[in-house]
Structure 1
Amino acid sequence: MALRKNVIGVINFVAMLLSIPIIGTGIWLANEQDNSCVKILQWPVIILGVLILVVALAGFVGAFWRIPWLLVFYLVAMLVLIILLACLVIFIYMVTIRGSGHLEPNRAYLEYNLDDFSGWLRQRVRSSYKWDRIKACLSTTSVCAELNQSYRMAQDFFNAHLTPIQSGCCKPPTECGYTFVNPTYWISPINTGADMDCSRWSNDQNQLCYNCDSCKAGLLANLKIEWRRADIILLITLVALKLVYLMGCYAFRNAKTEEIFRRYQQGYT
């Protein structure tokens, strides 16, 4: 029986370790410039990771200090958390399944359209109240200013592989026909009616295209890339956590069976 309890304790300790990549994923998202401005996914991930850590710790204590009710709490609570983690993994996949950039002639970077993304993501940036807060946060970053230090010539800039935020927020849409002066300063548009964003572009370095739908689309494209990476980590952790949980259930069931058989033998003798 003691050996079985020790095995359960080791299994719960592994479950504690598996909370680390979940918490780490949330912290990584929180440190990314775009996610730190939007603040949607990182806190649910961090909170879920912390809850898994606490529940696994409870199971670990219950196993080594022979506290049956803590083990039962671990089995029930961990099952709920695994289901929540699975729902989160599926949710991230579903909201990021749509949305990708499209090429423009003679450009290496991609352009982004807001309508290409899922409705749930679009709602996070559509309202003026939400976007004003996000825009103010983005404008304080160096994401656009860095372009002026990296690209002096127009052709070098056109051949650059920009991030979605740089493409959507730091320059006007290509179809407007603006003339390049530097990466964040453009003049003489040819076709201002091609897109509503053509008239929203500003050479004010605090404005640029932060009022553009292309900027919202670029932000969502950036989120999609980072959320997909996070989803892969969460999926791998989910599979490992499920295996550990099933091993814990099996060990706990065997331990209870041995205890019942031992009590039966003692009563018989």
Structure 2
Amino acid sequence: MAENANNPTTATTDAESVTTIVAAVQEEMKPPQESSKEAPNKVDKTRLARIIVGSIAILTFLLSLPVLASIIWLLYMKGYDCESLLRLPKLQIGIGVALLFVFLISNLVVFLRAKAHALGLLVVMVPLILMLTVGLALVGAYKNESKAVIGSPTWLKDKVYNDNYWNYIKSCIYNSRMCDDLAARSLSLKSDDFSAKKLSPIEFGCCRPPVICEMEYVNATYWRRNDHLGVGSDGADDEDCDAWQNDEDVLCYDCMTCKDGFLKVIRNKWWRLGLFLVLMSLLLIVAHLLLFIATVWERFGGM
């Protein structure tokens, strides 16, 4: 024993053994390096998922604001003159109320996305698809079926060109004194100046004879006939030329150009509304689908 204690080689070996054992114990007590790396990565993914969900939620809310603006316009803006004869103001109010429900449901689903994401997607998709369908009908996407859809191009054309409806419409246009106002604004205008004047579709079609008739301008509501009237190939121009009278109670209210002018004004308004419904419904559908996907991703920890 004394020999071992006095032997420096043996003492060194024992010290090295103790050091090795201590190092092994410390190594075992250390957490695995892979686990320490996975924890920050998981936290980063969860944070990224929350940021994405929050951004899409804000975007969806912002997309709903134009819908709210259109509701205010539809419910409070006065309709075009003589629209009431075609029951269009009722349609305008109905679409406004429907859009109010779309606005409320869309934002309610955004607010409750974490609690019922699948049910919320189903609930919001139903009114958005209906909104898309109505918009496509108003822009005339359904050529055969749109005749039964109030406000669609085919429906409007059918009503305006119907003599029973047109008798009421032309009386309404006459009572609006639109042609009288045009005459009052054009008293000092010569022929060239009047030709260069920008007229509304109704003023152009109802208050003056068709251009094809080649009548001589005297004033806004009085035109002198030439010997040859109308050279239209389908006879419609000749009928309009014959229908024109310098009587302020008649003018061209019975002309096809007058019907075309009124139809153009009404159709443009409802076509723009239909295009708005189509674009907004598509944008909101895409936004809610992305929000649903991002919410599911966040729920599973951003995996």
Quick check: TM above 0.5?
A: yes
Looking at structure 2, the residues matched to 44 and 254 of structure 1 have their Cα atoms a distance apart, in angstroms, of 41
Determine which of 197, 200, 225 is the counterpart of 1:188: 225
Q: Indicate how the Cα distance of structure 1 residues 52 and 10 shifts in structure 2: closer, same or farther if over 3 A, else same.
A: farther
Corresponding residue for residue 264 of structure 1: none
Q: Name which one, 1 or 2, has greater alpha-carbon Rg.
A: 2
Counterpart position of 1:141: 176
Residue number in structure 2 paired with 1:210: 253
Tell me whether 1:91 sits opposite 2:137 in the alignment: yes
Partner SS for 1:203: coil
TM-score, normalising length: structure 2: 0.59
Amino acid at match of 1:20: L
Contact 1:172 1:197 in 2 (8 A): yes
Contact 2:202–2:258 under 8 Å retained in 1:
yes
User: By how many angstroms is 1:70 displaced?
Assistant: 11
Match of 1:150 in 2: 185
8 Å contact kept, 1:12–1:57: no
- Give the C-alpha shift of residue 123 in structure 1: 1.0
Deviation at 1:177, TM superposition (A): 3.4
Normalised TM-score (structure 1) = 0.66
How many Å apart are 1:59 and its aligned residue?
5.7
Q: Secondary structure at 1:211's aligned position in 2? A: coil
Alignment partners' CA distance in 1, 2:167 and 2:230? 25
Residue ranges of structure 1 left out of the alignment (5+ in a row): 98-117, 262-269
| Contact 1:178/1:186, CA 8 A, preserved across alignment | yes
Residues 90-129 of structure 1: per-residue CA shift (max 9 Å, x gap): 33333799xxxxxxxxxxxxxxxxxxxx755431212122
Aligned to 2:204: 167
Whole-angstrom CA distance in 2 between matches of 1:77 and 1:142: 49
Cα contact 2:156–2:267 (8 A) shared by 1:
no
**What letter is aligned with 1:17?**
L
Asked whether the 8 Å contact 1:184–1:208 carries over to 2, the reply is yes
Report the AA paired with residue 139 of structure 1.
Y
1:53 matched to 2:128: no
Q: How many residues align?
A: 233
Preserved contact between residue 197 and residue 212 of structure 1 (Cα < 8 Å): yes
Could you tell me which residue of structure 2 aligns to residue 22 of structure 1?
70
- Counterpart contact for 1:148–1:183, Cα < 8 Å: yes
CA RMSD of aligned residues (A): 4.0
Alignment of 1:218-233 (within 5 A): 218-233=261-276
What secondary structure sits across from 1:33 in the alignment? coil
Contact 2:113 2:295 in 1 (8 A): no
Answer whether contact 1:168 1:217 (CA < 8 A) is retained: yes
After TM superposition, the structure 1 stretch with the greater mean CA deviation from structure 2, 175-184 or 62-71, is 62-71
Secondary structure at the counterpart of residue 171 of structure 1:
coil
Higher alpha-carbon deviation: 189-198 or 146-155: 189-198
Q: Secondary structure at the match of 2:178?
A: coil
Name the CA shift for 1:189/1:121 in 2 (closer, same or farther; >3 Å).
farther
Contact preservation (8 Å) 1:16, 1:53: no
Write the distance in 1 (CA, Å) between the matches of 2:251 and 2:117. 57
- Where 1:180 maps in the other structure, the secondary structure is strand
Contact residue 23 and residue 49 of structure 1 kept, 8 A: yes
1:3-82, aligned counterparts within 5 Å? 13-14=61-62, 16-24=64-72, 26=74, 30-33=78-81, 35=83, 38-40=86-88, 43-44=90-91, 46-58=93-105, 60-61=107-108, 72=119, 75-82=121-128
Q: Distance in 2 between matches of 1:217 and 1:239?
A: 32
Q: What amino acid does structure 2 have at the position aligned with 1:174?
A: V
Offset at residue 80 of structure 1 (A): 2.4
Moved more, 17-26 or 210-219: 17-26
How far apart in 1 are the matches of 2:268 and 2:108? Answer: 39
* Residues 62 and 93 (structure 1), Cα distance of their counterparts in 2 relative to 1, 3 Å cut: closer
* Separation (CA, whole Å) in 1 of partners of 2:294 and 2:274: 30
Q: Identity, % of aligned pairs? A: 27
SS in 2 for 1:50: helix
Deviates more, 1:80-89 or 1:185-194: 185-194
